[in-house]
């Protein structure tokens, strides 16, 4: 289930290392700065590139292995770019009670990729999420940053169509 994201190789961003260093230096004064820095890097670039790790480690005076360990521990941090739209389907118990597993199967068949993967055309990344806190209005699906409750397969088709 946790196979690497299938996507085109990331295009190197000119000046990326410099910008990552700026972000890290700006936030290094926070207590426990590493995770806020990783969030900020991902917010700006969409993912945390392996070369970013060395830059952040340098700024925080940590071993590269330590930063790598944190990046890989947390599911939020991507190491490659996601598709244009991320579709996240809740798979936790409350949504399962109202058909989230069947909805996920439908989504996988429709877009043609598994959880944790991106469609061949880079259009959609499919993700499984454990709970958006919308447990009384499941099944819940997040498309981009918008949450949708009571999603049926038909409604999901519409949402997927809109994200094209």
Partner 1 sequence: MTHPTPPPIPTPTPTGAPGTAGPTTATPAPMPGDTDAPTAGAQHTGAPATSFGNSHAPAQPTTRVFVPRDSAARSVGADEVAERLAALHDTSAVVRTGSRGMLWLEPLVEVETGEGRVGYGPVAAEDVDGLIAGGMIEGAVVGPYLGLVDELPWMKRQQRLTFQRVGVVDPLSTTDYLAHGGLTGLRAALAMDPAEVVETVVDSGLRGRGGAGFPTGIKWRTVLNADADLKFVCCNADEGDSGTYADRMLIEGDPFTLIEGMTIAAYAVGAAEGYVYLRSEYPDAVATLKAAIELARAAGWLGPDILGSGFGFDLHVRVGAGAYICGEETSMLESLEGKRGMVRAKPPIPALEGLFGRPTVVNNVLSLATIPTILANGAAAYAAYGTGRSLGTSVFQLGGNVARGGIVETAFGITLGELVNDFGGGTSSGRPVRAVQVGGPLGAYLPVEQFDLPMDYEAFAAAGAMVGHGGIVVFDETVDMAAMARFAFEFCAAESCGKCTPCRVGAVRGVETIDRILTSTAGTDRAQNLVLLEDLCELMTDGSLCAMGGLTPMPVRSAVRHFGEDFQA
The structure tokens listed for 48 are 């945390």
DSSP-assigned letters across all residues of 58-119: HHHT--HHHHHHHHHHSTT--SS---SEEEEEE-SHHHHTTTHHHHHHHHHHHHT--TTEE-
Is residue 120 close enough to count as binding partner 1 by CB under 8 A? no
What residues form DSSP beta bridges with 118? 125
* Residue count, binding to partner 1 (CB under 8 A): 41
Q: Are 23 and 13 in contact (CB under 8 A)?
A: no
Work out the angle at residue 59's Cα, subtended by the Cα atoms of residues 55 and 61, and round it to the nearest 5 degrees. 110
Which CB atom, from 17 or from 70, has the smaller least distance to partner 1?
A: 70
Q: Smallest gap, in angstroms, from Cβ of residue 32 to partner 1?
A: 4
Residue 113 among known ligand-binding residues: no
Which CB atom, from 6 or from 129, has the smaller least distance to partner 1?
A: 129
Q: How far apart are CA 30 and CA 42, in angstroms?
A: 18
Which CB atom, from 50 or from 69, has the smaller least distance to partner 1?
A: 69
Is residue 14 close enough to count as binding partner 1 by CB under 8 A? no
Is residue 94 close enough to count as binding partner 1 by CB under 8 A? yes
**Binder of partner 1 out of 47, 79, 92, 122 (CB under 8 A):** 92
Binding positions for partner 1, rule: CB under 8 A: 30-36, 38-39, 60, 66, 69-70, 73-77, 92-98, 129-138, 140, 145, 147-150
Binding residues for [2Fe-2S] cluster: 90, 95, 131, 135
């Amino acid at each position: 289930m946790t196979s690497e994201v299938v996507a085109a190789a990331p295009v190197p961003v000119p000046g990326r290392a410099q910008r990552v260093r700026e972000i890290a230096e700006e936030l290094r004064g926070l207590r426990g700065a590493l995770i806020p820095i990783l969030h900020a890097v991902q917010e700006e670039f969409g993912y945390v590139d392996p070369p970013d790790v060395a830059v952040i480690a340098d700024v925080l005076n940590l071993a590269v292995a330590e930063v790598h360990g944190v990046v890989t521990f947390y599911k939020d941090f991507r190491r490659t770019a996601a598709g244009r739209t991320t579709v996240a389907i809740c798979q936790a118990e409350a949504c399962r009670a109202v058909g989230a597993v069947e909805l996920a199967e439908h989504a996988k068949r429709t877009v043609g990729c598994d959880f944790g993967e991106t469609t061949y055309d880079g259009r959609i990344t499919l993700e499984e999420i454990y709970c958006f806190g919308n447990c009384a209005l499941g099944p819940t699906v997040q498309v981009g940053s918008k949450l949708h409750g009571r999603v049926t397969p038909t409604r999901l088709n519409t949402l997927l169509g809109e994200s094209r």
